[in-house]
Each structure stands twice: as C-alpha cells, then as structure tokens.
Amino acid sequence: MAVLSKPVWVSPTCYELGHCWTPYCTKASTDVAKNVFTEALKIYGTLYMMAGLLQKKGVKYYLGRFIPETLQSSIFLTINGTMFISMFCLWRRLVGFYVYYNVFICGIPICILAILIESKSRRGPLAVYLTNLAIETGYRMLVERKIVTAVPNGETLVAAMIEKDLVSKGEDGISVAFVF
C-alpha cells in the first residue's frame, strides 16, 4: 500500500516554501530588501514628483520635503516586504512548522510596524487603497474557485460598493476615509 508508506506530516522548510532562490534566510532577506527598496524608490519618487508638479509646488518643496517623503515611504514599503520574509523564516525556526494561516501570523505584525513608519498624512489613503486591493483580490479568488460567477468589471463594482458605504459614513462624505 503506497498510502501507508507516505509520511503523515510533511513540514517544508522556508527555503522550499518562501525563498526558493537561495537556501539562506539572511541572503533572501537582503535580496528582497534591495529589490523592494529599488522599486519603492521608483514608485514613490515618480508619485511624489508627479504630485508636486500637479499641485504646482515650488522648488522649496523639492529641495526640502521631496527626498525625505520619498525615503520615508520607500522605507515603509521595504520594511513591509523584507520583514515578511524574515518573519516567515523566523516562524519556521521558532515553531518548526507552517500552518495555512501562517501568512496572517507573520504578516499582520509586520504590516502594523510598516504602517507606523509611514507618515500620518498618508495612512488613511493607504488604508483605503489597501482595502480596495484586498477586496479586489478576494473577489478574484471567489471567481477563480467558482464560488461566485464572474461579472464584467466585477472587482470594480464590488470595490465601488464598499467605497460608497465607507464614504457615506463621514459627515462631509470623505473624512472617514482619511482618518486613521
């Protein structure tokens, strides 16, 4: 009987599950940090540059606040990405196994830490954006698993309904979306 010869409990390593490009946890964390920081600088540099141009901020903004804001937001994203893979490896070393909800155990404290690093003025919009992203991902998972039927632009419709409820709760219509 082939079934009886198989192990009942197989616990993959963090190398097999999380960072398959290198067997070393420290190397994986530094690789992720380098790549995430590089991409975050591109994303936030462009974002803050365009926002400054559209809001017609002067040279004073670019000389005084552009670089610190870009670095702070880039560090936020870098910590979020790097610490997740580090926490993933740390969990395996401390406990010795993974469970299906391991992503939440590792991810939630790291996300909270990363959000605390981001500037207070960006936390509200970031929360709204990530809520929309989570809703869109959840909808796509439900469609993929055939739990709900696909609707054209369904992600947008679901996100718009949730956003409508969120925005309608504020006295002035939008304030609740930007309060952390």
Comparing 29-33, 73-77, 79-83, 170-174, which segment has the lowest mean pLDDT?
Answer: 170-174
Question: pLDDT tens digits, residue range 1-17?
Answer: 455 555 556 677 888 88
**121-127 contact pairs (CB < 8 A, 24+):** 122/73, 123/180, 124/177, 124/178, 124/179, 124/180, 125/177, 125/178, 127/180
Q: Burial of 141 by CB count in 10 Å (0-12 exposed, 13-18 middle, 19+ buried)?
A: exposed
Query: Sorting pLDDT into bands at 50, 70 and 90, what band is 173?
Result: very low
- Please give the biggest Cα pair distance in the chain: 76
Phi, psi (deg, nearest 5) at residue 65: -115, -20
The mean pLDDT of 75-80, rounded to a whole number, is 88
pTM (2 decimals)? 0.68
Please state, rounded to an integer, the average pLDDT across all residues of the chain. 80
Find the Cα–Cα–Cα–Cα dihedral 17, 102, 79, 57, rounded to 10°.
110
